[in-house]
Amino acid sequence: MAETILTTEYSTEMQKSFINYSMSVITARAVPDIRDGLKPVQRRVLYAMNELGLNSDKPHRKSARIVGDAMGKYHPHGDSSIYEALVVLSQDFKKGMALVDGHGNFGSIEGDGAAAMRYTEARLKKFTQEVYLADLDKNVVDFVPNFDETEKEPEVLPVRVPNFLINGSDGIAVGMTTSTPPHNLVEIIDAMELLMDKPEVTTAELLEVVQGPDFPTGGVVTNKDDLLEIYETGRGKIKIRGKAEVVPGKRKTDKDCIVISEIPYTMIGANIGKFLSDVVSLAESKKLPDIIDVSNQSSKEGIKIVIELRKGADGEQTLQGILKKTKLEDTFGVNMLAIVDGRPEVLGLKAILEHNLNFQIEVNTRKYTTLLEKERSRKEIQEGLIRAVDVIDLIIEIIRGSKTLKMAKTCLVEGVTEGIQFKTEKSRKQASQLKFTENQATAILELRLSKLIGLEILALQDDYKKTLEKIALYEKILGSRKAMLKAIRKDLDSIKKNYGIPRRTEIANLKEAVFVEAPAQVLDVTFLMNRFGYAKVVEQSVFEKNEAQLREENTVFINCRSDEKLCIFTREGNMHQLKLADVPMGRPKDKGVPIDNICKYDSAKENILQIFCWEQIRTKCFVFATAMGAVKQVAALEFDTVKRTIAATKLADGDEVIAIEPADKPYIVMTTDEKHALRFRVSEIPSQRKNAVGVRAFKLTEGERMNGVWLLDEKEKQFSEVTKKKTDLNGLPLKKRDGKPELLA
């Protein structure tokens, strides 16, 4: 066969492929179907468990077996994602109604991961069996081929409640996300019934029944007035707050505590650990100085985080500070996106309930149609058996007189008597008039003689009456929308009665937490840093008492105030700003923290040249000198910025800064590694911007580099040992900048 090469535009092909990929992720992976509120992986896990017979009254089965069946038969996307879906379905702190009964370590609310699938076991909850998987054998939903067309799987599960709202959803697709909070089962069912009674019901009326989200972690929704707009549009922000109270000490000498008993839904997982860490940081940084201890005393009984306060502390003010500065008060972003008729769509509360009601009507129509066909078939057989009982002697005569089963059946159905031996012609004539249906004839020929006992015949007649009643009921349901809705309501009432739970989340209008930070105490401090780059701040009085020890252990000493900032200049031409408030206050024996951790300076790539206190230099000018002989004067105000890191100067390739000195002396001496030196006036160095390279101090020979810079007063002596003989640099001849340098003897 000849090869065919198709030519296409690259951008067109990429666009087409990306759109196909995007829609696949949206519709077949990340976003739930509005009908059952499940993503494909969740649906397939539940169906695989149902096929394995893992009912609530059966023993648990290894999770690895469940994952293997789901992956091998229905969901070929990797075992880790399938197991993760199974784990989440079992976690009652994530789902409004958990659907899987997990046995073993299935993770915790504090973010601990589940054990490996080979260790854990699972089975379906009774709620899942009766509400999510019931009636699959009654042709209530379409079955489609699996990925390799070796199995059939349901396109959607016949879920009898709006699971999209009850268990919520979250997912990230391509270009869109879905985020729906969980709701209370009882309230959602009541809203469904209200919609049945009043199709023109408004969202405001529905919210009289559905108070709002019902998070499994409890807490308080604080913006009740915003819920109407959120539920009308399907988008918005829900503000949630944990439940906390200030518990006074039992005795006067005891300290007060803040006890947190419920957390925001957004805090579950690793965010609990982060919350504890944030509270500790607030205490250490003195932003909440009344906190002296934090402990997580949570257990299987529930959340309990205890924050111990200083004696005499203002507990309410501290609690307001915690709400303001931590995730104890947080925002849940709502975007109720679901797949509707194969397309992603953002829906409001009423639209979600309407879609679910239409789905329930469709499922129940198919269910009662199947049941009606089954009862009609049963009625046909029962009528045939009742009629057969009345002529049982004739039927026995036909059976005994027939040579084959087919001959007897043909006689019962069509009245053909040829070849059958009868006792009398009267019997032959009666046999020719029987005319049973095919199904009736089969049932008669399979009838056991024990069924001819009197009580059995009465039971058959009773069953026939019940069958007629069922047929009438099913026809009534299928023939009337009112009767259909009544049947759906009956199912919903049963679910509400058997599985309804009280609301856990309080809905209210609460004012935003108000916390006014007390102004930080301004202290006279000394910034210290040792040769290994560990920095700390001590009070100046402490430094003066331990000066000898601290000068021996450290290489940098800067006196300043605790509300000031430092400017750190590096040889690589950068300036990093460091707020002294970010440097931990320490004791003389404390090691301090690496300076890399508290500012953007990177010790692996840069070398510190000078550190100044900003308040002490802001009015000054500085002389910048580089190894390749460039000099300039720069006003300190050039470095007045809010950025934590800026370029302090522009450098040529291979150059570095070797000196940054205040321009407060009249003379400058510069020396090189080739023993050249030049002394000239500082006033000859031009003032330039920080992004300038500078001007030449004097011409260097090839490979020669500057290695020393001194700014000197008129009579100040500065000796250099560049040669064997000490040279007074201030005694060198005074020349012009860029003049001929002296060769040191």
The pair of structure tokens assigned to 68 is 């293997």
Q: Which residues contact 104 (CB under 8 A, 6 or more apart)?
A: 63, 115, 119, 120, 121
What stretches of 328-445 show up as alpha helix (H) in DSSP? 349-390, 392-401, 405-414, 425-431, 438-445
User: Would you put residue 502 in left (φ > 0), alpha (ψ -120 to 50) or beta?
Assistant: beta
| Pairing label, strands 243-247, 337-340 | unpaired
In degrees rounded to 5, what are phi and psi of residue 726? -70, 135
Three-state SS for 319-340 is HHHHHHHCCCEEEEEEECEEEE
Going from the C-alpha of 114 to that of each of 6, 80, 117, 268, 303, the distances in angstroms are 50, 11, 8, 15, 19
Closest CA to 645 of 677, 606, 617: 606
Whole-angstrom Cα distance, residue 459 to residue 626? 110
Helix 79-90 to helix 63-73 angle (10° resolution) is 130
Strand 220-221, strand 506-507: pairing: parallel
Residues near 393 by beta carbon (within 8 Å), at least 6 away in sequence: none
As a whole number of angstroms, the distance between CA 355 and CA 66 comes to 31
Encoding tokens for residue 390? 């009345």
| 691 within 8 A of 650, measured Cβ to Cβ | yes
**311 neighbors 289 (Cβ within 8 angstroms):** no
Query: What is the spatial distance between Cα 322 and Cα 520, in angstroms, rounded to a whole number?
Result: 17
Contact call for residues 440 and 383 (beta carbons, < 8 A) = yes
Amino acid 236 reads: G
Contacts by 133-136 with C-beta closer than 8 Å and gap 24+? 133/46, 133/47, 133/50, 133/157, 133/158, 134/158, 134/160, 135/363, 135/367, 136/50
How many whole angstroms separate alpha carbon 105 and alpha carbon 109? 12
Per-residue b or e along 84-108, where b marks 16 or more CB atoms closer than 10 Å to that residue's CB:
bbbbbbbbebbbbbbbbbbbbebbb
Please give the positions annotated as active site: 119
Q: Are 146 and 40 in contact (CB under 8 A)?
A: no
Helix 392-401 crosses helix 349-390 at what angle (to 10 degrees)? Answer: 80
